[in-house]
Structure 1
Amino acid sequence: MISLQEFFNKPENTQAKGIVQKNNILKRNIIAHMAIEGDSTLADLAKQLHISIPTVTKLVDELLVEGIVADRGKIETSGGRRPNVFGLTNSSIYFAGAEVSRDQIIMVVTDLQNNIIHSERKSDFALDDTDECLETICSTIENFIDRSGIDRTKLLGIGVCMAGRVNPNTGRSYKYFTSKEESLSEIMEKRFGHKVLLENDTRARCYGEYVKGCNGAARNIVYLNLGRGVAIGVIIDGELYYGKSGFAGEFGHTPYFDNEIICDCGKKGCLETEVSGVAIENKMMTQIRNGRTTILMDKYQKQHKIHISDIINAAKNDDTLSIELIEEAGEKIGKSIAFLINIFNPEQVIIGGSLSHAGDYLMLPLKTAVNKYSLRLVYNDTQFRATDLDDNIGSLGAAMLIRNKIISI
């Protein structure tokens, strides 16, 4: 008898040829189907997976012997012979997801149906390109999994998404921890003892929105992540779009403005220099130094810094300067989104990230600008909405993506 972890994580047998290799693939498909759809009859499996009844019977019998599938007994029918129903022997199969952002780490443990079993947040964190920061990330995730109370032998994989340019195929971040010979995913796999998928945070959030927010209602979406930076995730016909090198979505580094502000990427005039959370924070502090009145003056004088969440909360408390800065950003973002929808013609544009919490202060000028600068036919076909999902959508998306990779969805 082998465990599900051993079944999914064992390396492909390069010597397996012909019918043996084909049967291994079919058995994984059966397990993946049961993981998504639940218990099934042999007839259901044969129909959904396009396998003959004799073949599916033989493969399920092998899975029964291996202890991966269990016979649940017969089910009631309206007439005729009652069929047996089969399901995975242990539904307690888990995946972990972690979103490593610039100022926090959000972590979840999920089951096969993408339900969150346990979640935690580490707020006292700053992402930095140092060995000490990497150790903090690894120890935080490891301690979280230990505290979750799950059996580590039932954890099949860990998805980790983070800010910056990330290529999931190479398992490398090209912004943080780039001096290591091993890829970041390889370092984490050795540390955790589990398969690790490294993903970009915006793409993970985009996929989480697609699965949990759209519920299959839209197959072509653009997700705009307005946090301390700016990036997009794109779903085309139900699939994440990566581009050739896995770096698609760096919309914040479009040379959109004729200004002298140096972006984090080293260039001037990027979209991020005017509409990101960091840009709005800098504008607020500049305005305070120039004598503008705001309810955030005392906070700035005590701490000498302002966070975007402070500005959003101040706007909701009728602070004129905060409202002005958010509305200005909304208008500029809307103009840039018009550019996106004219190219992609998506069904939905979803605004996520910390700035989405500003609500109508952001969305009303944003939609007005999109309407003004986009093609009418394209605008009429696109639904705009701010996310209504929790902040753990990035870590949940990362858990979903490692789940899909392991069970071959």
Structure 2
Amino acid sequence: MKYAAGVDVGGTNIVCGLLDERGNVLVKRKYPTAPEKGSRAILEGIAMTLEELREEAGIASKDVQVVGLGIPGLVDPEAGISRRAVNLQWHQVPVVAELVAMTGKPVFIDNDVRMYVYGEAIAGAGRGHDYVYGITIGTGLAAAFVQHGEMYYGNRFMAGEIGHVPIDHVNFACSCGRIGCLETFVSATGIARQAQTRIEQGEESMLREWFPDVKNIRASDVSRACLAGDSLSRDVLEQTGRTLGRALAWVVTILSPDAIVIGGGGALAGELIFEPMKQELNVRLLEDYRDHFVIKTAELNDDAGIIGSALWALHRHKQR
């Protein structure tokens, strides 16, 4: 049996796991990232954790074939470099070279959302489909496209940045420096911001009673208020879903996926967002597109990143 290590590196936490070649997680560990310690300390911690997990699982070192990492921000998977990861305070970090020296294993890196989507495409909600478009609704909005088990990168590995598509009716400032990016509206942050802004402008909501300081409102609170009958919260989630539906109509027309997989914390709102999203897609898509894809909720949850990273590393290693 062959095994692989999968690592999901986040700005807050790191998850390391050992998996078999079918994507089953054997052991895993989650711990704080501590970006203030610097990139080398983080990579040394990953190497040490993977060795501890190998011993815990009783797997011989020679049977661990590869190490795969999903890293936020801009990644050059061919050069093995993290070009820029703001939350990690990384810039031009030679991740692969350093981890190969620390572990003695072939190492493969990619963007964390691509690895999340790859995990879902191969071993999660997208398995059995040839063209899987996956999005994560979290602090931001990110996406990736997997076709016949291969990642679609585009020029300079930049494909999938749907969160930074400008939307006409959106006027929120984005962290990228522009105004009106999709993710400022369709994201957990965007949902909370919509509710906060409308309440500050004088609209009534039970959220005002729950939160004297509206800046403390989170997306989960908007969903909770909606289920309790709050009309403002219901409208926020409906507008979020419709805006996402308009954006996905472009995606479906351009890429023609046979499955769209939606994950991330913002997806926990479920049909409160998905129903208006589907309504918008039905209105905007030609029948030939509309009737030939399915929309699914991600299945692997927090394990998607380590599963995708491990399976992608095994796949890339076989191609060498």
Q: Structures share a fold, TM > 0.5?
A: yes
Task: Measure how far apart 1:379 and its partner are.
Answer: 0.8
Partner of 2:272: 361
Q: Deviations over 1:13-52 (max 9, x none)?
A: xxxxxxxxxxxxxxxxxxxxxxxxxxxxxxxxxxxxxxxx
SS state at 1:221 partner: strand
Deviates more, 1:323-332 or 1:251-260: 251-260
Partner of 1:273: 184
Structure 1 Cα separation of the partners of residues 191 and 260 of structure 2 = 22
Task: Measure how far apart 1:364 and its partner are.
Answer: 0.3
Superposed, 1:221-240 pairs within 5 Å as: 221-240=132-151
The one-letter code of the counterpart of 1:226 is I
State the structure with more CA Rg: 1
Structure 2 Cα separation of the partners of residues 316 and 125 of structure 1 = 35
Q: Does 1:146 align with 2:30?
A: no
Q: Does 1:383 align with 2:289?
A: no
Q: Does the Cα contact within 8 Å between 2:77 and 2:108 map onto a contact in 1?
A: yes
Partner of 1:7: none
* TM-score, length-scaled by structure 1: 0.67
| Pick aligned residue for 2:246 from 335, 340, 360 | 335
| Pick aligned residue for 1:107 from 6, 12, 16 | 16
The one-letter code of the counterpart of 1:358 is A
* TM-score, length-scaled by structure 2: 0.84
RMSD over aligned CA atoms reads 3.0
Q: Deviations over 1:323-345 (max 9, x none)?
A: 43222211100010001111112
Structure 2 Cα separation of the partners of residues 318 and 139 of structure 1 = 47
Q: 1:152 to 1:199 in 2, by over 3 A?
A: farther
Superposed, 1:151-170 pairs within 5 Å as: 151=59, 153=61, 154-170=63-79
Task: Measure how far apart 1:378 and its partner are.
Answer: 0.8
Structure 1 Cα separation of the partners of residues 95 and 217 of structure 2 = 32
Q: Which structure shows the bigger proportion of residues in strand conformation? A: 2
| Pick aligned residue for 1:394 from 281, 287, 305 | 305
Q: Deviations over 1:329-368 (max 9, x none)?
A: 1110001000111111211111122222211111101100
Partner of 2:205: 293
Task: Measure how far apart 1:175 and its partner are.
Answer: 2.4
After TM superposition, where is structure 1 displaced by more than 6 Å over at least 4 residues in a row? none
Q: Give structure 2 stretches of 5+ with no counterpart.
A: none
Q: Does the Cα contact within 8 Å between 2:119 and 2:307 map onto a contact in 1?
A: yes
| Pick aligned residue for 2:158 from 217, 240, 247 | 247
Higher relative contact order structure (alpha carbons within 8 Å, sequence separation ≥ 6): 2
Q: Does 1:98 align with 2:7?
A: yes
Q: Does the Cα contact within 8 Å between 1:98 and 1:141 map onto a contact in 2?
A: no
Q: Give structure 1 stretches of 5+ with no counterpart.
A: 1-90
Structure 2 Cα separation of the partners of residues 332 and 202 of structure 1 = 21
The one-letter code of the counterpart of 2:105 is H
Task: Measure how far apart 1:245 and its partner are.
Answer: 1.6
